[in-house]
Structure 1
Amino acid sequence: MSLPELVTEFMVDMKCEGCVNSVTDKLETVQGVKSIEADLSNQVVRIRGSSPVKTLEEALVQTGLTARLIGQGLPDDFLVSAAVAEFKGPDIFGVVRLAQANMELARIEANFSGLPPGKHGFSINEYGDLTRGPASTGKMYSPPIQGSETEPLGDLGTLEADETGEAYYSGSKKMLKIVDLIGRAIVLYGSDDKSDSGLAAAVIARSAGVGENYKKLCTCDGTTIWEAKPDFVASKV
């Protein structure tokens, strides 16, 4: 399924025009990339297109330059254009990224590790109360919206973990407004049955849109939360 088009920003350790050319040449080969803007003075690369973040990260790794995702969205279009929920362990690590593509559509991408192999549902729940883990996050988010889909708005579908416990998801959701999700929670379930108690939960926090995060900080607690793992930086190994 093709993802909605967005601008994705990376901080890339570019030291010269040769680095700029290397990054640009590589990204131009990625399917879904529409345009690339490399700002050497700020070491920022802006990519417009429908390519998943994971695909863009993998392309940047191949240039040999370190890179860090710092923002996503559409410039000047929304009050809150991006949000993230970070799962910090001790067993399950991951991040769910949400970005407003237009007023009727949000883009969703998720990366997880440490999951039991198999299918896992995930959803947006009403409350960001993690005192009892998933059990204290309330019901699945389901506001009454005229013309919305038959399933609850907070139903994000199902992802599948491989034999190593890693899972990746990308998709979109109609009628989902990022601004209404801040402070709620994303819950990950033990199977594709979302009626179980849930494996883990994380609070949804506002994250940087385009041009907002050159210092790599999240506005909620001053930490970088764009990465799928606590120590992740895209770099060649």
Structure 2
Amino acid sequence: MLTSKLEVLVEFGSKVDGPLLDKTLNELKSQDGVKEAVFKDGAIVVETTLPSTVVLDMVSRASGKRAVLQGFGETQSAVSMISSQSCCRNSVMGVIRFQQTAEGPLVADGCIDGLSTGLHGLHVHEVGDLSQGCDSIGAHYNPSNTVHGGPNDPPDKRHAGDLGNIVADETGRATFRIVDNVLKVWDIIGRSVAVTEKRDDLGKGPNPESKVDGDSGTSVACGIIARSAGVFQNPKRICACDGVVVWDEKDRPLAGKGRREGKRCCEKEK
């Protein structure tokens, strides 16, 4: 099965505890879905078929330390920080990473919180325009001008941006890893990705909207797809934009309320 390599930073401190590192690596290697786990250049590199969020949880449990994803994939990668484009109310928020594999398929790896329990459609859209939130991202990315379908349909029976459904659990979290044979990373950078309020019927429903968007309803969260770092391509340990260090960043939202201590996203400037 197609694997991805993850570069995981672990808060071991200035001097790595050798026995703890060995314990962490051995526990990772014993897990189904983990092909290899090694310590290299100050990070744990995991080759896996599992979603990155699952791997990070494994590393944290095994080491008892905080862990963050520093690099994803060995080849060209992209990322989208998606949100419901609102500020001070319950919102949907998450991260989706894309990797163009050397074998050809694209991997979409994500974790989204704040969804209603059940199935939700996931689609790449034509444009990366958030000027009107998710209302301005255009239709599904569809360079071949075909009808809507599912990710397992042939290219002439689906939109290129049709990635099917993700499943949110009872807490509202959807964790997923999708392998797609149609999309390419270089075609979607600068576009957007969105998750919908309802399940995607994959173009097989009775409603006329089925052939347009799978009758999946409005987009509840979206984000622009941007180029991102692969394994050992990102030396950053602090976010230059707001001064949040990588370890503090782990426990804070990607943007908005709670990102920086002492500042509320809807608080008026004095």
- Give SS of 2:157's match: coil
Deviation at 1:87, TM superposition (A): 2.1
- Give SS of 2:21's match: helix
Deviation at 1:149, TM superposition (A): 5.6
* Aligned match of 2:133: 133
Deviation at 1:164, TM superposition (A): 2.4
Code of the residue aligned with 1:21 in structure 2: it is D
Contact residue 80 and residue 225 of structure 2 kept, 8 A? yes
Whole-Å separation in 2 of the counterparts to 1:177 and 1:229: 31
Whole-Å separation in 1 of the counterparts to 2:141 and 2:232: 30
Whole-Å separation in 1 of the counterparts to 2:242 and 2:159: 30
- Give SS of 1:69's match: strand
Q: Superposed, which structure 2 residues align to 1:38-49 within 5 Å?
A: 38-39=39-40, 42-49=41-48
Q: Superposed, which structure 2 residues align to 1:169-184 within 5 Å?
A: 169-184=176-191
Deviation at 1:216, TM superposition (A): 4.6
* Aligned match of 2:231: 210
* Aligned match of 1:85: 80
Distance 1:203 1:216, change over 3 A: farther
Contact residue 88 and residue 230 of structure 1 kept, 8 A? no
Distance 1:86 1:219, change over 3 A: farther
* Aligned match of 2:26: 25
Deviation at 1:57, TM superposition (A): 1.2
Please, which runs of 5 or more residues in structure 1 have no aligned partner? 232-237
Of residues 170, 183, 189, the one that matches 1:163 is 170
The answer to whether structure 1 residue 230 and structure 2 residue 237 are counterparts is no
Once the two structures are superposed, residues 165-200 of structure 1 have per-residue CA deviations (whole angstroms, 9 ceiling, x without a partner) of 222222210032112211110111111243533212
TM-score by length of structure 1 reads 0.81
* Aligned match of 1:234: none
Contact residue 34 and residue 48 of structure 1 kept, 8 A? yes
Contact residue 207 and residue 218 of structure 1 kept, 8 A? no
Q: CA RMSD in A?
A: 2.8
Whole-Å separation in 2 of the counterparts to 1:152 and 1:126: 11
Please, which runs of 5 or more residues in structure 2 have no aligned partner? 146-153, 201-212, 255-270
Percent identity, aligned pairs only, is 29
* Aligned match of 2:218: 197
Code of the residue aligned with 2:230 in structure 1: it is G
Distance 1:48 1:217, change over 3 A: farther
Distance 1:219 1:205, change over 3 A: farther
Deviation at 1:6, TM superposition (A): 1.8
Decide which structure has greater strand share. 1
Deviation at 1:13, TM superposition (A): 2.2
Deviation at 1:43, TM superposition (A): 2.3
Whole-Å separation in 2 of the counterparts to 1:50 and 1:197: 31
> Which protein shows a greater Rg?
2
Q: Superposed, which structure 2 residues align to 1:44-193 within 5 Å?
A: 44-62=43-61, 63-74=63-74, 78=75, 81-88=76-83, 90=87, 91-102=91-102, 104-144=104-144, 148=155, 150-193=157-200
Whole-Å separation in 2 of the counterparts to 1:228 and 1:122: 26
Deviation at 1:115, TM superposition (A): 1.3
- Give SS of 2:219's match: coil
TM-score by length of structure 2 reads 0.72
Distance 1:212 1:115, change over 3 A: same
Code of the residue aligned with 1:163 in structure 2: it is E
Deviation at 1:202, TM superposition (A): 0.6
- Give SS of 1:20's match: helix
